[in-house]
Every structure is written in structure tokens, then in C-alpha cells.
Structure 1
Amino acid sequence: MNMKLKSVMIGAAIASVAAMPLSSAVAKDYPPRTLSFVAPSGAGGGWDLTIRTVAKTLKDTGLVESNMPVTNRPGGGGAVNLAYMQTQKGKANMISVYSPPILLTNLTGASKYSYEDTTPLARLITDYAAFVVSKDSKYTSIKQIMDALKNDPKSVKIGGTSSAGSMDHIQFLMVAKAAGVPKLNQIDYISFQDGGAVAQVLGGHVDLISTGLGDVVSLVKSGNLRALAQTADKRIGEGVIAEIPTVKEQGIDATFENWRGLFGPKDMPAYAVTYWNKTLKDMVETPEWAEARHRNGWDDAYQSGEEFTKFLAKTNEQYKEILSEIFSK
């Protein structure tokens, strides 16, 4: 081959690569060898359980071969990690789990960032709130708790793993409001974001924990905690879990869904968004994921990224109305 022809061919090849869209050129190398999965909470909570279950299922099913270490980045009811995500704009290798606090921390002023400062990838599951006490507690029903609060809003100390004004706090106040408890802003709520809420209720330092049912399933099954109520519109689970009465059964007209989904940084590249939409859709259809949902008492609530974004916008408005009602007095 003469030098002139070779030069022309090399030039054409370079021009072809240069003309190739950047996303196409990078997409074939995605995902990278290591992905960064993040739980914006301490170990052992609902976010931690969800993201670790996702990583294990993706690995076990062979859907993703990359390393998927999970980092815990607690603080501010998820606000600390949400702020960190702003430093990762446009990047493709970070996946974080969130639930209602990604909306609530913004609506209550705890964070200036919200779901609009991320890339929603998929809603995966719905858990429900659970209100649990120690096995030796004098309280045996959620109605007894509400009656005590009606007489004295300081008589029951409530603990949770989210920050004040965020999910564990709000879900309890929603039920209290529906039960007719006055002076909601006087109820003592103590946040244990380090995951120490269970130890606090077992030690008698708080009377009740407001949490996600999936977070305390094993402790309820073991008998160390007693669940007074859960917030689905029906009985759920099996065995001891199926014995937990709903709030509505106890004469309080309230429900609460603790949905959980995955988010990438804002402006996540289109090739990564496309990859995760397909991969997560495939994951939720596997028997491994079905078994994990069954084991943790999660209901299927899958939505693609586009559907999830619409859901978030609608839910954000609903939460805004709820907060306005609760804190209007």
C-alpha cells in the first residue's frame, strides 16, 4: 500500500471516530469495572437494605458484572448525600437509593435540593410505615398511643431514623392528625440517624419507633419488638407480620406508602440512563428479586425513569399539601 493511500485511509478513520456521537463511543464501555452504590443513611436501615439487595440481585442474576460496593453516607435525613450528588453532575457511575425524604427534606427547608437535582432511574418497591414498641411496653395498640397524646402531647416519646420533619416523623404525625390528636408540633420526636433507634426503644429511652416495616421485620419476628400497627390499606406479609393490624382497622383513617427508588446524579449521560432503565426493568422480573421482596415484605411498585419522574412531581405536591395542613397551626 502506497503512503498516500494509507494516509487517506487513516484520515478517514479518524474523521469517522470524530463524527461518532460521544455517547455512542462511551456507551459500549459502560458500565465501568466499579460502580458506586450509595445508601444516604447508616447501616441497617431501609435505604441500606434496599441498595444492598439491589446490588446482590444484579450480581446474582448476572445482569451486572461490575463491582458494586455500597457506601453509607448518612446525615440530614438524606440531605448530606443529596448535596454530595451535586458534585457528581454529569457522571455515570453513581447510583443512590431514596424514598419520600428526597421530597420532604426540600419541602421542610432542610435541603435546598430535591428530586429535580437528580436523575430518577426507577421506582422499585413500596414498604409501609410501622409503629413498634418494646416487648415489655405498656402500650398494646396504636389507639392507646393516640389517646395518651390527646391527653398530653408530651406523654409519649417517639423515635425514628429520619430527621425531624422527614419521613418517620411525618408518617407518625399524619396518623396522629387522622386520629384527632391536637398540638402535633408539641409531640416529642427524637431522630436517631446513626441507626440506634431500636436500642433506644429497647432501653426504654423512647416509647415508640416510627419506621419502615421492612426495617424491623426480623425484630418483630424474634419477639424483641411488638408492632402496634402498619400503614398499608390491607394486611400484608405472612405469619407474625400478617398479624400486624392496619391503622385503619383501629379506627384511624390513614395510610402511608414508603416507596423506594434509585437515582443518578443530575444530567446523568443518556447512555447510562438507557442502560439502567433496561437493566432495572429486567431485574424486577427475576425470581431472585421476587424472593427478596417476599422476604422483606415489600410490595412491587416498579416504574421506569420517565414514569417515576411524573410520580415524583405529583407526590411532591401531595406532600406539600400534607405539610401545610400539619404545620398550619
Structure 2
Amino acid sequence: MKRNSLLLTAVVAASVLILTACGEAKGQKSAGGDGETFKPKGNVTMVVPYGAGGGSDMSGRSIAAGLEAVVPGLRINTENRVGGSGAVGYSYFLSKTGDPNYLLPSETALLALPLNTKVAFDYTRFTPIMKVGDDFTLAVVPANSPWTTCADVVNASKSGRVVAGISGVTGLDNVVFTLTEQDTGAKFDRVPFESGEELLAALLGNQIQVASLNPGEVVEQLKAGKLKALCAFSEKRYEYPELKDIPTAKEQGIDVAFAQFRGLIAPGGISDGARKFWIDASRKFIESDKAKQYIASNYLQPNALFGDDFTAYLKENNDMLKKAQGK
């Protein structure tokens, strides 16, 4: 009897260990999901795939600060990884697959890079978290430029060389120049820069003749009279007081309107719990004063989407971009 009792005790103890181990494994597999609570371990890193001072950098830093404000104890460091028109930063982010302590402020390059460059990723390799809004661009020239409309630029390109600066070969500005060429028969001589800040400096320094830049990047120069806006590549005129008098390209006979989205992605392969954590935090951010301030100060068109809805938007936008580029 004593021997049987010892054997029974051993079996029960072994069973408890097995069940405990199974429970721990299940909890690890679904950390932060299926009823578990996920929290970032230590500081989170916001990887910006462009240089400091441009639209993507402003987006990343604003979202980071906003998330910190709505999630107690959250700390996010911003890290710029520049090169390859965004490819270096996105490729580095790809290496963080499965790590929920990394975020990236995404934009049109997420879709355009895989269509134009040999990279190891497309949008399906990441986890879409939030779309903040739409960021249309303005065609801008130095204040002393003889051009007063986008139609003037198109006509000039048909009879001579027009040097257009772009922020990376896969950015929104390159897309709108391509769409303008397709719609009008124009031809632009492009010069790529690594960030909107570098592009702006080149325009102010008369190294290029025209650029397509986001309103938030150029509004101060427009107010100061250093630059002038020829048209907006948007569906309708902006309602912001500083931009409401800028006609759309469509008003000038150029049927081009294409928005750069501003959003947030996490690495692919993260747990359901981590995905839910970042989506919930992003929903709180969108409702915050910091989000409203970011949207207004950067002249975005607010249009928030989260999770699956953002994923569907990316697919639709990707298909549209493929069609625009004949792919």
C-alpha cells in the first residue's frame, strides 16, 4: 500500500507539472491575446526610414509622443535609419519580425518600394496598426519662378528641361509626377533626395526648379514668401485658411489626385495580444489632443483606420499604385 501511495503521488505530481507546463506554453503562445495582457518590455523603438525633419520623421515623433501620453509608463525612442529611399529602414524593420517593441511610421513607400525596387518585403510582411489620415502634396517653386500654375510647368517640360526634386524614388512626390506625365505627356528630369528637408533646402537653394511637398513641410516658407504653391494634387481644395486659395491640379486641367497616407505599422509575426495592444493604444491616440494637434499642424485630411480596415486600405491602395505604374 505504501508503495502504491508513493506511485500515485508521483503520478499526480507529474500530471500537475505537465498541466502547468502546458498552461505556460499556451500563455507564451498567446501573450497579450486570448485573455492575456501584453505590455511592452522596456523602451519601444520607433524606426523612421527617412532623415530627420521630413514628413515621415514628424509623423513618427508625433505618434510616439502621442502614444506615450495615452499609455501610462510607455516610453518610445525614435531612431532614423536612412538610405535607399526608405529601403534601409524598412529592411531593418523586417529583421524585427515577431518583436512587438518596434513600430514604424508608414507611408506610401511601404507600397511603392516593393513595386520599384528589389526588396525582401511588401506590406503583407508587416502588421498594419493605424492609418492617421491622408497627406496630399503641393507643387511648389521658388518665389521668383516664372511659373504660376502646374499647367505652366507641364507646358515648359514639353519644350525644355524641367528639373523636379523628389524625396526618394518611391515616394508620393515621384508618384504624382509620374501620374502627371501619364495624364499630360509632360516629362520631368528627376533628382532624388533622402528626405523632405533635403528636398526643401535644394528648392530654396535653386538647385531644382519644382518639387512636390506635403503642406506641413512648406507652409512656413509659403507664409514667408520664399516659395509659392502652384497647385494641390488633391481631390478638392484644402479648407485650412493657409491653403484654401491653392487650386487643385484638376482645376488646371491635370487629372491627378493621389494621397500619401500617414500610418503606423508593427513588425509581422507579433502575437494577437500585442496587435490588440497597439491598436487599442492607437484608438486612444486618435481621440487625444496630441493627435488633433498633429493632424492640424501638418495639414492632414483626418481619416483614421485601424487593424483589418487599414489592411484592406493598403490592399486597395497597392492595387491602385500597380495600375498607375502599369504593373
Distance 1:29 1:272 in 2: 6
Distance 2:211 2:44 in 1: 34
Distance 2:17 2:133 in 1: 47
Q: Deviations over 1:157-214 (max 9, x none)?
A: 0002122x54221212212332x225x4xx2100110531112111111001122222
Name the structure 2 match of 1:19.
23
Check if 1:33 corresponds to 2:42: yes
Distance 2:232 2:132 in 1: 20
Name the structure 2 match of 1:162.
168
Cα shift at 1:221: 2.5
Name the structure 1 match of 2:159.
151
Q: Aligned to 2:178, what secondary structure does the other structure show? A: helix
Name the structure 1 match of 2:185.
181
Does the 8 Å CA contact 1:79/1:110 hold for their aligned counterparts?
A: no
Cα shift at 1:38: 1.4
Cα shift at 1:148: 0.3
Does the 8 Å CA contact 1:91/1:269 hold for their aligned counterparts?
A: no
Return the TM-score normalized by structure 2: 0.88
Q: Deviations over 1:63-86 (max 9, x none)?
A: 252211111112222211121122
Name the structure 1 match of 2:137.
129
Check if 1:200 corresponds to 2:209: no
Cα shift at 1:294: 1.5
Cα shift at 1:24: 5.2
Q: Provide the alpha-carbon RMSD of the alignment.
A: 2.6
2:324 pairs, out of 299, 310, 322, with 322
Greater radius of gyration (CA) = 2
Name the structure 1 match of 2:6.
none
Check if 1:117 corresponds to 2:117: no
Distance 2:31 2:123 in 1: 29
Name the structure 2 match of 1:223.
225
Q: Aligned to 1:249, what secondary structure does the other structure show? A: helix
Name the structure 1 match of 2:5.
none
Q: Aligned to 1:261, what secondary structure does the other structure show? A: strand
Q: Aligned letter for 2:136?
A: Y
Name the structure 2 match of 1:43.
52
Write out the 4+ residue segments of structure 1 that deviate beyond 4 Å after TM superposition: 8-15, 23-27
2:78 pairs, out of 55, 63, 70, with 70
* Alignment gaps of 5+ in structure 2: 1-8
Q: Aligned to 2:136, what secondary structure does the other structure show? A: strand
Q: How has the CA–CA distance of structure 1 residues 24 and 113 changed in structure 2, closer, same or farther, with 3 Å as cutoff? A: closer
Q: Aligned to 1:229, what secondary structure does the other structure show? A: strand
Name the structure 2 match of 1:172.
177
- The number of aligned residues is 315
